Chain A
Amino acid sequence: AAGVIQSPRHLIKEKRETATLKCYPIPRHDTVYWYQQGPGQDPQFLISFYEKMQSDKGSIPDRFSAQQFSDYHSELNMSSLELGDSALYFCASSQRHLSVWGANTEAFFGQGTRLTVV
């Protein structure tokens, strides 16, 4: 079965550079979520999109932006990178909004993009 695809898998950037992470959800999934997981930490929610509109926002820095495109893939744009941005960035997708009553929705995670800022 198709899974959530993230690219690139690994990325090395210098401080103050920009990075773009891509996420391709499972076919027919209309919702995408972005998480950041620092070393030894739990995944922290950044932002989510439902039907190409932002549906929730977490602890996403102002230097980061994201969008979901017409084909439902999503991109996370990160500018003015800092050493502290080094982390594993996970994307997840689900078929419909998580908080729809009775939808019994679950989220499927991608392999992640490991970003290293040097």
Chain B
Amino acid sequence: AQSVSQHNHHVILSEAASLELGCNYSYGGTVNLFWYVQYPGQHLQLLLKYFSGDPLVKGIKGFEAEFIKSKFSFNLRKPSVQWSDTAEYFCAVNALTGGGNKLTFGTGTQLKVEL
């Protein structure tokens, strides 16, 4: 069964700082990878996704992520964060073979951006 690890549970940054959130998954086969954001009191919104092709994917609001297959990683990055990026970020994986019809989420990273 697939699983997802997010190593940073809480991150505090100042505005304009760079962001990198780690995500590792455990699954030997082909996967689809996602990052979702959850603003306080709101639902999960898709930030970006990786299906195949270029391992560097760009999403909304200036976020990007890089899929490194050899490291089973899909880290999220943003060069310069804003106060409005304060939210919880979830990495999710869907295994294409034997993974079932579901997304498996990591434990989430709570990001706080200070002015």
Contacts and interface: CB of A to CB of B under 8 A. Distances in A.
Interface of A: 31, 33, 41-45, 48, 50, 55-56, 58, 90, 92, 97-99, 101, 104-112
Contact of B90 (A42, A107, A110): A42
Chain B CB count within 10 A is highest, among A50, A106, A108, for A106
Interface residues of B, number: 27
A43 B102 CA distance: 11
- A interface: dominant SS: loop
A99 B99 contact: yes
B82 interface: no
Contacts of A41: 107-108
Chain A CB count within 10 A is highest, among B34, B90, B96, B106, for B96
B94 A112 contact: no
Contacts of A56: 100-102
A114 B88 CA distance: 18
Contact of A42 (B30, B101, B105): B105
A45 B102 contact: yes
Nearest to B30: A101
